[in-house]
Amino acid sequence: MCGLIGCTGVKCAAKILYGGLEDLEYRGYDSAGIAVLEKGKIVAAKRKGRVCALKTAAEELCGTSGIGHTRWATHGRPSDENAHPHTSGRFSVVHNGIIENYSKIKEELEGEGYEFSSQTDSEVVVHLLNKYYRGDLKETVLCAVERLKGAFALCILCEGYEGFVAVKYRNPIIVGYGSGGALYAASDMPALAGLSGSVAVLKDGQIAFASEGKISFCDFYGEPVCLTFSPVPAAARSTRLGGFPHYMIKEINEIPAAVKNTAHAFAEEKCFAALSRAAKKRGGFGEIFMCGCGTAYHSALAASYFAEAELGIPVRAETAGEFRYKKSAVGGGTLFVAVSQSGETADTVEAARAAKAAGAYVVALTNVPYSALTGIADTVVPVRAGTEICVAATKSYCGQIAALALLSATLKGGTAYSRTLADLKEIGAKCSAAISDCGVEDVARACASSSGVYFIGRGIDYPVALEGSLKLKEVSYVPGEGYPAGELKHGTIALIDGGTLAVAVITDRSLGEKTASAVEQIYSRGGRAAVVCAEGCAPSNLAERADFIIEVPACPAYLSPIVSVIPLQLIAYRTAVILGRDPDKPRNLAKSVTVE
């Protein structure tokens, strides 16, 4: 949700900032803007739309310090005026997050004569800085942040201070040292990967002052704090397209590596020992709650099927946004697993916080080791999918299922862990086969011309159906729904007509006949059907009748969501391309939803 970047001590700040905004564009692409200090004065350029809309204006800016922003609109529609940076007096500010008490502050500031030029919540920050400035920058920043409620990562530029200030509260900010005295800040590691040798991740309530080759830190009370700098993680470095036309297809091709690296990391990070110790200390867990949003919720839901069967205790999956506002009965006997690619999703982070406060043992299962979620958790279970740039999650979903399978096996004990590791070793080749051989083009064409696509499945195929539907909707904008195959007849079947396509997922032979009945009901109403099945799992009558049939290699049932999701991801990708959509940056979306 919005990307921030700051730099100082560089030859041409605007050039660096523009490059950084391109790396951060996945966080929002409603508008982009840059402000630099030119001969001590703030000069800004901002444009509605993608970062590339800013290119020409950015090329005209010079100066060695500056800040930049790429926006996902929350308060105020996408427009030039609502684009950041916002400027007041000697200050310019970029913001990621939501200032919850902005209306009250705005009213007060307007009463004092401050004029607002945008509808954003963020603009209050820059006017507050202007209001409190008495010549001491640190005092000014402390006074301003004291007034703010909500979530905010900020980069601030101030005339008279050759550098920038970065502030962190509930939204991420990382600072780094570059070569030749250059200093940087950004919302995420990939934007710093090519610039900084060493980086430090700010914690909530910390402020960084970057100027003249040095970064110093204090907390919101002004007390100095020390941060540890370390090299940029290798995974953050490889974020270029490398010959692929889109990140989505590049990242689908990285699924085998995501699964393999996640399995390695589980062993490397000694998750087995940490989880076994925690279970022993609490006399075993009586129940497991798994929470996430969107795709992460779907991987949690898939895992709830195999974990409950394996462990014989209740395992529930719930969307984090629902969990956090519910009077839930989690407690000391609960293992709470927060699943999140980014580790920054506000609902998931807050759900984990609530579970922890209720006494649950909290596991963060995330692709981003330095995220907010890892700061809350008792244990981190790493997903090593590598940086995921496409807004639609693909390889991270498969990495999450692998990590969840290892977590479940660890709690089971005995030979389950080594069996899961061995099964995961075989999965890479099956994924590669599914990626290269499954032939989705005809189904994608059918999706592109359908009025609606219904994804159905039973058992562990149901969460996969949900994921297939989400993927298609978000990247191609073709309406659709994911449904348990048995539920279709209880209402939704009223929507089926000649323009409808159903995609049935079948990886469990024993449930094949049941799902086939649902497909028959669709045929009877004039709809068409595609069947995505594991080798040999589709009943022969269905295989003969289906308009399209896509087979993927068979694998152990609990790992089937890793393989069966691949054709669905490819169908969504190809449908988007056929319809001329940008699969990497779907409309209205952003990769990490760091606001409620």
- Which residues are identified as catalytic? 2, 591
Is 92 or 342 the residue whose CB approaches ligand AGP more closely? 342
Q: Which stretch binds ligand AGP (CB under 6 A): 19-27, 188-196, 293-301, 562-570?
A: 293-301
Is 47 or 581 the residue whose CB approaches ligand AGP more closely? 581
User: Which of 295, 304, 476, 564 forms a contact with ligand AGP (CB under 6 A)?
Assistant: 295
User: Counting contacts by CB under 6 A, is residue 469 touching ligand AGP?
Assistant: no
Sign of the CA dihedral running 442, 445, 450, 456 = positive
User: Counting contacts by CB under 6 A, is residue 349 touching ligand AGP?
Assistant: no
Is 495 or 589 the residue whose CB approaches ligand AGP more closely? 589
Report the nearest approach of ligand AGP to the CB of residue 295 (Å).
3
User: Counting contacts by CB under 6 A, is residue 296 touching ligand AGP?
Assistant: yes
Is 141 or 391 the residue whose CB approaches ligand AGP more closely? 391
Give dist(CA 351, CA 340) in Å, integer.
Answer: 12
User: Counting contacts by CB under 6 A, is residue 387 touching ligand AGP?
Assistant: no
**Residue 288 contacts by C-beta under 8 Å, 6 or more apart in sequence?**
304, 307, 311, 313, 314, 315, 316, 334, 335, 336, 337
Tell me the CA distances in angstroms from 3 to 18, 19, 418, 459, 561, one per residue in order.
12, 12, 41, 39, 32
Is 38 or 481 the residue whose CB approaches ligand AGP more closely? 481
Is there a contact between 552 and 534 (Cβ–Cβ < 8 Å)? yes
Give dist(CA 550, CA 568) in Å, integer.
Answer: 10
Which value, in Å, is the radius of gyration of the alpha carbons in the chain? Answer: 25
User: Counting contacts by CB under 6 A, is residue 341 touching ligand AGP?
Assistant: yes
Virtual torsion, Cα 578, 70, 38, 206, nearest 10 deg: -150
User: Counting contacts by CB under 6 A, is residue 262 touching ligand AGP?
Assistant: no
Is 64 or 374 the residue whose CB approaches ligand AGP more closely? 374
Say whether the peptide bond before residue 224 is cis (omega within 30 degrees of 0). no
The closest alpha carbon to 159, from 90, 211, 209, belongs to 90
User: Counting contacts by CB under 6 A, is residue 476 touching ligand AGP?
Assistant: no
**Which positions from 557 through 596 interact with ligand AGP, judged by CB under 6 A?**
592-593
Is 64 or 341 the residue whose CB approaches ligand AGP more closely? 341
Tell me the CA distances in angstroms from 148 to 97, 141, 372, 555, 570, one per residue in order.
11, 11, 19, 52, 44
Give dist(CA 367, CA 37) in Å, integer.
Answer: 36
Tell me the CA distances in angstroms from 164 to 100, 158, 167, 384, one per residue in order.
24, 7, 10, 33
Report the nearest approach of ligand AGP to the CB of residue 393 (Å).
4
User: Counting contacts by CB under 6 A, is residue 551 touching ligand AGP?
Assistant: no
User: Counting contacts by CB under 6 A, is residue 365 touching ligand AGP?
Assistant: no
SS3 71: strand
User: Counting contacts by CB under 6 A, is residue 23 touching ligand AGP?
Assistant: no
Report the nearest approach of ligand AGP to the CB of residue 86 (Å).
27
Report the nearest approach of ligand AGP to the CB of residue 371 (Å).
9
Sign of the CA dihedral running 107, 108, 112, 118 = negative
Is 104 or 587 the residue whose CB approaches ligand AGP more closely? 587
Q: Which stretch binds ligand AGP (CB under 6 A): 335-343, 435-443, 479-487, 539-547?
A: 335-343
User: Counting contacts by CB under 6 A, is residue 474 touching ligand AGP?
Assistant: yes
Say how many residues touch ligand AGP, by CB under 6 A: 15
Q: Which stretch binds ligand AGP (CB under 6 A): 93-101, 164-172, 212-220, 339-347?
A: 339-347
User: Which of 74, 88, 261, 342 forms a contact with ligand AGP (CB under 6 A)?
Assistant: 342
The closest alpha carbon to 565, from 316, 252, 337, belongs to 252
Report the nearest approach of ligand AGP to the CB of residue 48 (Å).
23
Q: At 174, which amino acid appears?
A: I
Report the nearest approach of ligand AGP to the CB of residue 593 (Å).
5
Q: Mark 523-561 as b/e (b = at least 16 C-beta within 10 Å).
A: eeeebbbbbbbbeebbbeebbeebebbbbbbbbebbbbb
Bridge-partner residues for 175, per DSSP? Answer: 185, 200
User: Which of 13, 165, 392, 485 forms a contact with ligand AGP (CB under 6 A)?
Assistant: 392
User: Counting contacts by CB under 6 A, is residue 187 touching ligand AGP?
Assistant: no
Three-state secondary structure of 121-179: CCHHHHHHHHHHCCCCHHHHHHHHHHHCCEEEEEEEEECCEEEEEEEEECCCCEEEEEH
Q: Which stretch binds ligand AGP (CB under 6 A): 88-96, 388-396, 452-460, 537-545?
A: 388-396
Is there a contact between 49 and 93 (Cβ–Cβ < 8 Å)? no
Tell me the CA distances in angstroms from 591 to 20, 140, 365, 421, 582, one per residue in order.
16, 33, 17, 30, 14
User: Counting contacts by CB under 6 A, is residue 345 touching ligand AGP?
Assistant: yes
User: Counting contacts by CB under 6 A, is residue 393 touching ligand AGP?
Assistant: yes
Nearest residue by C-beta to ligand AGP?
A: 294
User: Counting contacts by CB under 6 A, is residue 340 touching ligand AGP?
Assistant: yes
User: Counting contacts by CB under 6 A, is residue 261 touching ligand AGP?
Assistant: no
Is 144 or 248 the residue whose CB approaches ligand AGP more closely? 248
Q: Which stretch binds ligand AGP (CB under 6 A): 55-63, 130-138, 270-278, 337-345?
A: 337-345
Residues that bind ligand AGP (CB under 6 A): 293-296, 340-342, 345, 348, 391-393, 474, 592-593
